[in-house]
C-alpha cells in the first residue's frame, strides 16, 4: 500500500476488542479513523479526544447511521480501508431452536449491514485502490453445535466480501482472527475462564500484514500472516 500520510479507515465496532485495538494502532500510525458503536458512552470513553478520529454512536443496521458514516468519509474525500468488525453473536442454541427473529437480527448485523455500508463507500475504495476486510471466524468453515446462527452469517459474509472484491477490482480479505479474550468470546463461553485466550491486540500485527503486503484477495487465518510491527 502506498502511504500518502492521509489514509482514511472505517472500522465498525470500535469501542472494544479487535475494532478498538486496530483503530488505536492505525491512529498511532497517523491514519484518520472513522469508527462507531452502539454504546455512545463506551465509544467515547474508549477513544477520548484523540486527533484524527471520528466516533459515531449508532447501530450499524440503521440506514441513517450508515449515512452519517458515509458523510464522515465524504468530508475526508477518500477511503483506503473498510473493516466490517461489528458483529452479533446471536443465540447459542441448536438451529432447531433458533427463532426467525434472532436469525434475522444476526443476518442484518453481520451480513446486510456490511453490504449496505460497502455499497455506500465502494466508490471511495475503488478510487483509492483501497482494501475491504471482513472479520470472520473459524465457525464460517467449521460446524460447531449451537454456533449455527453466527456461523451462517460469517460464511455468507466471507462470500459477500470476496465477491465484492472480484466484482470491483479491489483488494478484499476475510480474516479469521482466532480465539480472543473479548466480551463476545466470553458470551459464547459463559462462566468459563478465558484468561488464556490472546488479547485482541495480538491480532493487529497480522492484519497490518494484509494492509502493507501484496497477498491476493482471499480468506486468511490471522496466524497464517507474518505479523508486521509491534503493537503497544
CATH classification at residue 186: 3.40.50.720
Q: What pLDDT does residue 4 have?
A: 59
Signed CA dihedral, 185, 188, 191, 196: sign only: negative
Domain-embedded: residue 35: yes
Using alpha carbons, select from 126, 15, 112, 36 the residue that is nearest to residue 79. Answer: 126
Does 230 map to a domain? no
Say what the pTM is: 0.94
Residues in the chain with pLDDT values less than 70: 1-5, 229-232
CA distance 13 to 58: 10
- Give the span between the Cα atoms of 181 and 201, in whole angstroms: 10
Residue 229 lies in a domain: no
Q: How much is the pLDDT for 2?
A: 46
- Using CA atoms, how far residue 149 sits from 16, 219, 221, in Å, is 22, 20, 21
Q: Give phi and psi for 162, each to the nearest 5.
A: -70, -35
Give the chain's domain count. 1
Residue 2, domain member (yes or no): no
182 closest CA partner among 168, 199, 196, 165: 199
Q: Do 22 and 85 form a contact (C-beta atoms < 8 A)?
A: yes
In a domain, 128, yes or no: yes
Give the domain range for residue 148.
8-224
What pLDDT does residue 3 have?
54
**In this structure, is residue 100 part of a structural domain?**
yes
Residue 231 lies in a domain: no
The three cell numbers locating residue 224? 497464517
> Where does the chain show beta strands of DSSP type E?
8-11, 32-37, 53-57, 81-84, 131-135, 171-176, 218-221
Helices and strands (H, E) in the chain, number of each type: 8, 7
Whether residue 232 lies inside any domain: the answer is: no
Amino acid at each position: 500500500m502506498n502511504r500518502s500520510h492521509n489514509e482514511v479507515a472505517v472500522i465498525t465496532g470500535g469501542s472494544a476488542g479487535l475494532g478498538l485495538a486496530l483503530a488505536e494502532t492505525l491512529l498511532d500510525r497517523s491514519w484518520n479513523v472513522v469508527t462507531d458503536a452502539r454504546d455512545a458512552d463506551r465509544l467515547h470513553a474508549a477513544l477520548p479526544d484523540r486527533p484524527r478520529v471520528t466516533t459515531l454512536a449508532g447501530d450499524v443496521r440503521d440506514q441513517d447511521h450508515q449515512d452519517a458514516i458515509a458523510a464522515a468519509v465524504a468530508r475526508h474525500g477518500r477511503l483506503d480501508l473498510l473493516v466490517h468488525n461489528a458483529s452479533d453473536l446471536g443465540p447459542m442454541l441448536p438451529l432447531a431452536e433458533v427463532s426467525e427473529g434472532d436469525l434475522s437480527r444476526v443476518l442484518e448485523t453481520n451480513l446486510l449491514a456490511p453490504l449496505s455500508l460497502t455499497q455506500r463507500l465502494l466508490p471511495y475504495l475503488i478510487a483509492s485502490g483501497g482494501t475491504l476486510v471482513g472479520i470472520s471466524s473459524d465457525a464460517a468453515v467449521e460446524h460447531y453445535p449451537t454456533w449455527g446462527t453466527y456461523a451462517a452469517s460469517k460464511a455468507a459474509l466471507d462470500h459477500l466480501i470476496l465477491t465484492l472484491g472480484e466484482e470491483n477490482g479491489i483488494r478484499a480479505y476475510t480474516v479469521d482472527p482466532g480465539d480472543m479474550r473479548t466480551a463476545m468470546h466470553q458470551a459464547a463461553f459463559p462462566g468459563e475462564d478465558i484468561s488464556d485466550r490472546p488479547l485482541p491486540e495480538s491480532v493487529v500485527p497480522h492484519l497490518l500484514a494484509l494492509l502493507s503486503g501484496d497477498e491476493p484477495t482471499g480468506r486468511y487465518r490471522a496466524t497464517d500472516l507474518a505479523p508486521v510491527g509491534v503493537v503497544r
